[in-house]
Amino acid sequence: MTDTLPSRRETLPVPAPRPAVRRGSRRRRAATAGFHTTGILISVAWFLPILIVLITSFRTFDDVAKNGIASIPRTFTFDTYAQAWQQGDLLPALVNSMIVTIPTVVLTLLLAAAAAFGLSRFKIPFRRTILLIMLAGNLLPVQMLLIPVTRITQQIDVYDTLGALIAVQIAFGLGFYTFVLYGFMRSIPHELQEAATLDGAGVGRIFIQVILPLTRPALAALGALSFTWIFNDLLWSITLLQSSEKLPITAAVLSLQGQYVSSWSVIAAATVVAAIPSTIVFLVFQRSFIGGLALGSVK
Amino acid sequence: MTRKHTRWLGAVGSTILATALLAGCVSTGGEAQGPKEGPDSEGPLILQSRFTDAEKGGLEELVKTFNAKGEGTVKINSIPTQTFNQQLPSYLTSKNPPDVYTWYAGQATRDFADQNLLLDLNSVWDKNKADFPENLASLSEDAKGTKVFVPTNNYWWGVYYFKSDFEKLGVTPPKTWDEFLALSEKIKGEGVTPITMGLSDNTWLASAWFDYLDLRINGADFHQELLAGKKSYDSPEVKKVFEAFAQILPFVNPSTLGTTHNQAISDFSQGNAAMYLLGAWAQPAIPADKKDDLAFFQFPVIDPSVPIAEEAPTDGFIASVKTTKPELTKKFLDFIASAEAQTQLAKGQDGTALPANLKATVTLDALATQGKDMIQSAKSVTQFFNRDAGDAQQTPADTALTSFIANPGNIDQILKTWEDASQKIRANS
């Protein structure tokens, strides 16, 4: 048996479509090469500005001023980071950013999950209207609301406090997060809830022990997303705060821009520092981020 | 009516209700109140400052000196300049505003004084009057003659160039407009861009050209009336200004609208562009090894019968009328006005500012001496477009000047649009 097989193969005629296969594989190879080249080009275009910021952050002021920002770097220095850290007061600013971001993300997700749970799993009258109004709030341009919200915070004496910033950020995030979580929770089979009800679980228990664990991918994705949004926010913080020691990292980066003259390399260094926390969060949640978003969209 | 309709009506109804509630809250807020009577409240005096980064050093030293005197404590709040400029109206109208602010003299301050938002500083001026020149005193007044501003320093504008570049090109600084045009022609012939401006991120730099051309062609009186809304931008006088501007456009860096100020400065430092009309504030941006080479000349004379006017933008302090510590505010501003404080402040400004107090002693470098002499010999002194016209007028000016640079053939249409926009802003304020 083992002897016959090779001999039989030898006697087989040369398959006719072979050249066609080769041509096909060549085309496939060309397609792969094209795919990768385009991919590389797009990622370079995407990454180039970040790279320029990184390179600029290690150049001296005189080098940038003399040769321009687009030139090949002739100097390498860490002084820019030290300068940014001291002049921009980056440490307290980072702490402020964290004080605002972490409670906001946790509270928004908790409240949005509770709202989405109620709206998606129970026959609440006008639930669609409620959802639409929440979402409609997100359609208004934020700039339109800056002055009214500032005035309200002044009247109720919370202007220039981090608490006001947290409250406003929660209020503005809530609509969108509820909408996303609503779509996600609707896709969880009703049988699970019914089974839990039959086992004697109350509404609160169903929410915490059945629905929340199942929503985890969406929560992780939204958590990462909202962290970057709130951490990178500048508009609300400079509108609602007026004391320099309460300003978050984004405002600290801005404060490195002088009235007339600013050192781009120091600003670039501060930008790199400011980007680190959201990059870490994004990398940690990366997997659930992509999965979670896709899951929410399919019903 | 179907169920769907009812739902939509409900949604629309609740939205309107919510908007009405919001609007109700807003309309009751932000009224001006009178100055506080009686003794000061507790706590430090808040000094809201737009100086950040390297610029804040001098002010911090000054506050340290004041705090050491034991008359009260001042706390600096450094806010990024752009944010500060945008937020100042909301600071001043807020319920518990900061007490003292860094700000610009001229209409920029008068706009707030007209809304009764600024503290009466007559008592500070009474004490220090002798130390300040007469023109700064009148500059610090509101429409009723009340002093509302304490000046700390001013600076000069000039056409900056590098001495070595001019030597290489074989040219000398021009005095008249014709010399200036001939010089630009020659520089262009050598393959160097004669004039640069970084307008993509600092559009307001184009107003410097407008200001100077108007001052040289129509004079300071016309310029002030124009900026105050008493003359119109579509008048034949302003058209003459734009015709002169059109003469130099062939010499301006063709991509000036897409060039950032930083890029323009680096072109200038590398010798790719020969001249840049700038204020003294730009000097620290020049690389250290080229600083000694830097020089400037006075903006050339166009019509010898027009008295020379110079831009000398003045910086200083204003105070909120709502301050709960008027006594400490006045004590602090009294200190700011003193020769001692202004000497100290000028030291922290890299030689790019001239103290307002005549008794302040500073050692001026060559450029500062030249700038000081130029301002003092001028028949009249203006601030700068946005400071003389009011900050809100800067946007239509920027639009007019950039569209002119992009499309110089369209002067009449551009000036008409400018005048309309300017009147609209005046009508709304």
For every residue of B340-379, which 3-state class applies, written as one string? HHHHHHHHCCCCCCEECCCCCCCCCCHHHHHHHHHHHHCC
- Which positions ≥6 away from A112 have C-beta within 8 Å? A173, A174, A177, A178, A181, A222
- Which positions ≥6 away from B250 have C-beta within 8 Å? B188
Nearest to residue B263, comparing CAs of B201, B322, B217, B208? B201
Q: Does residue A10 lie within any of the structural domains?
A: no
Cβ of A155 within 8 Å of Cβ of B11? The answer is no
Cβ of B282 within 8 Å of Cβ of A260? The answer is yes
Q: What are phi and psi of A99, to 5 degrees?
A: -60, -35
pLDDT at B12: 57
Pairing mode, if any, of strands B193-195 and B273-279? parallel
pLDDT at B13: 56
* Whether B6 contacts chain A with CB within 8 A: no
- Which positions ≥6 away from A195 have C-beta within 8 Å? none
What mean pLDDT is predicted for residues B279-288?
Answer: 89
Instruction: Show which of residues 59-78 on chain B sit within 8 Å of chain A, judged by CB atoms.
Output: 76-78
* Whether B130 contacts chain A with CB within 8 A: no
Nearest to residue B40, comparing CAs of B324, B238, B291? B324
User: Strands, E, within B79-206: which ranges?
Assistant: 100-104, 150-154, 157-162, 193-195
pLDDT one-digit tens code per residue, A117-151: 999 988 888 988 989 888 888 888 888 888 899 88
What is the rounded CA–CA span in Å between residue A234 and residue A231? 9
pLDDT at B300: 96
Q: Does residue A29 lie within any of the structural domains?
A: no
Q: Are A53 and A279 in contact (CB under 8 A)?
A: no
- Long-range Cβ contacts of A212-215 (<8 Å, 24+ apart): A212/A113, A214/A188, A215/A113, A215/A181, A215/A184, A215/A185, A215/A188
The segments of chain A whose pLDDT lies below 50 read 1-12, 297-299
CB-nearest to A259 from B55, B91, B289 is: B55
CB-nearest to B265 from A65, A126, A244 is: A65
Q: Does residue A64 lie within any of the structural domains?
A: no
- Domain at A272, CATH number: 1.10.3720.10
Q: Are A245 and A73 in contact (CB under 8 A)?
A: no
pLDDT at B16: 58
| pLDDT level of residue B25 (50, 70, 90 thresholds) | very low
| Domain region containing A275 | 89-297
pLDDT at B234: 93
What mean pLDDT is predicted for residues B385-413?
Answer: 92
Query: Scanning every residue of chain B, which has its alpha carbon at the shortest distance from the alpha carbon of A125?
Result: B7
- Chain B closest-CA separation from residue A155 CA (Å): 7
- pLDDT higher than 70, residue B209: yes
Instruction: Show which of residues 316-355 on chain B sit within 8 Å of chain A, judged by CB atoms.
Output: none
Cβ of A154 within 8 Å of Cβ of B281? The answer is no
* Interface test with chain B among A149, A151, A238, A243, by most B beta carbons within 10 Å: A151
Does the predicted interface ipTM exceed a cut of 0.90?
Answer: no
How many folded domains does chain A comprise?
1
Residues of B in contact with A247 (CB under 8 A): 79
Query: Scanning every residue of chain A, which has its alpha carbon at the shortest distance from the alpha carbon of B278?
Result: A260
Q: What are phi and psi of A122, to 5 degrees?
A: -125, 150
Q: What is the DSSP letter of B301?
A: B
Fold of B157-311+390-428: D-Maltodextrin-Binding Protein; domain 2 (3.40.190)
Q: Is A211 exposed, middle or buried (0-12, 13-18, 19+ CB in 10 A)?
A: buried
* Whether A85 contacts chain B with CB within 8 A: no
pLDDT at B279: 93
Pairing mode, if any, of strands B74-78 and B45-49? parallel
Residues of A in contact with B266 (CB under 8 A): 64-69
Q: Does residue A193 lie within any of the structural domains?
A: yes
Average pLDDT, chain B: 88
Cβ of B26 within 8 Å of Cβ of A243? The answer is no
Of 3.40.1710.10, 3.40.190.10, 3.75.10.10, 3.40.50.12780, the CATH number of B45-155+313-375 is 3.40.190.10
What is the rounded CA–CA span in Å between residue B150 and residue B75? 19
Q: Are B315 and B298 in contact (CB under 8 A)?
A: no
* Whether A251 contacts chain B with CB within 8 A: yes
What is the rounded CA–CA span in Å between residue B314 and residue B388? 11
Instruction: Show which of residues 171-230 on chain B sit within 8 Å of chain A, judged by CB atoms.
Output: none
Quote the pTM value: 0.79
What is the rounded CA–CA span in Å between residue A63 and residue A75? 7
CB-nearest to A148 from B22, B284, B288 is: B22
Instruction: Show which of residues 82-101 on chain B sit within 8 Å of chain A, judged by CB atoms.
Output: 82-83, 87, 90-91, 94-96, 98
What is the rounded CA–CA span in Å between residue A129 and residue B258? 47
What is the rounded CA–CA span in Å between residue B97 and residue B175? 49
Residues of chain B with CATH 3.40.190.10: 45-155+313-375, 157-311+390-428
Judged by average pLDDT, the poorest of A281-295, B282-296, B346-360 is A281-295
Q: Is B4 exposed, middle or buried (0-12, 13-18, 19+ CB in 10 A)?
A: exposed
Q: Tokens 């430090």 appear where? A: B44
What Rg value do the Cα atoms of chain A yield, rounded?
A: 28
- Which positions ≥6 away from A116 have C-beta within 8 Å? A177, A178, A179, A181, A182, A184, A185
Q: What is the DSSP letter of A16?
A: T
Q: Does residue A67 lie within any of the structural domains?
A: no
Q: Are B78 and A244 in contact (CB under 8 A)?
A: yes
Cβ of A256 within 8 Å of Cβ of B53? The answer is yes
